Amino acid sequence: MPVLPILQWPDPCLARVAVPAVPDAKTAALATDMLETMYDARGRGLAAPQVGVSQRMFVMDVSWKDGTPAPLVVLNPEILAWSAAEAIGPEGCLSIPGAVAMVQRPTSVSLRWTGLDGVVQQAVLTGFAAICAQHEIDHLDGIVTLQRDPQAAASQAMASLAAASQAAA
Ligand SMILES: [Zn+2]
């Protein structure tokens, strides 16, 4: 069970719209590796495109840092309904280390997905789980936080420029 390398933005795989995932043994093995990779990186969510697999799948565990691991493997997620209420909050991303974007999202979503066993499930997510699921679904659509926060994108571009000119010097 290897820890997988996490692609860094702007890797082209992070800008691709992912194709549907199939619940089979290969996907199950990938999910195991993705969870191990996510825990190793001290993250709470990781989407397949972040490890170079352009399929509609993500893993998340919003409570492991509180000492109660609850790993969730989500295939082919679909948001059925969004809350009218929205909130702006800081979001980090394992593919954009050091950048925190302020992103506005609905505070609750009704999510339908397929589990690794092929069974379709549905749940209403609130709080951090709702934000995390929306962040990971963005990855499946080739969207990263910087595209949702012009200010963070600008400061990230400045940081890249500074790093590039430093490397050139
Ligand atoms: Zn991310």
Q: Give the pLDDT confidence of 62-114 residue by residue, as tens digits.
A: 999 999 999 999 999 999 999 999 999 999 999 999 999 999 999 999 999 99
Whether residue 86 lies in the annotated active site:
no
Query: Cβ neighbours of residue 150 under 8 Å, at least 6 residues apart?
Result: none
Q: What pLDDT, on the 0 to 100 scale, is given for residue 79? A: 98
Query: CA 43 to CA 46: how far, in whole Å?
Result: 7
Per-residue confidence at 1, pLDDT binned at 50, 70, 90? low
3 state SS of 128: helix
- Which residue type sits at 15? A
Report how far ligand 1's centroid is from the alpha carbon of 23 (Å). Answer: 23
Q: What pLDDT, on the 0 to 100 scale, is given for residue 137? A: 98
Report how far ligand 1's centroid is from the alpha carbon of 14 (Å). Answer: 9
Q: What pLDDT, on the 0 to 100 scale, is given for residue 72? A: 98
- Which residue type sits at 51? V
Report how far ligand 1's centroid is from the alpha carbon of 166 (Å). Answer: 27
Mean residue pLDDT across the chain: 95
What is the pTM assigned to this prediction? 0.94
Q: What pLDDT, on the 0 to 100 scale, is given for residue 134? A: 98
Query: CA 5 to CA 74: how far, in whole Å?
Result: 20
What structural domains and CATH numbers belong to the chain? 12-168 (3.90.45.10)
Whether residue 169 has pLDDT greater than 80: no
Whether residue 155 has pLDDT greater than 90: no
Annotated catalytic residue, options 36, 78, 91, 136: 136
Q: What pLDDT, on the 0 to 100 scale, is given for residue 162? A: 87
Report how far ligand 1's centroid is from the alpha carbon of 66 (Å). Answer: 20
Tell me what the mean pLDDT of segment 8-14 comes to. 96
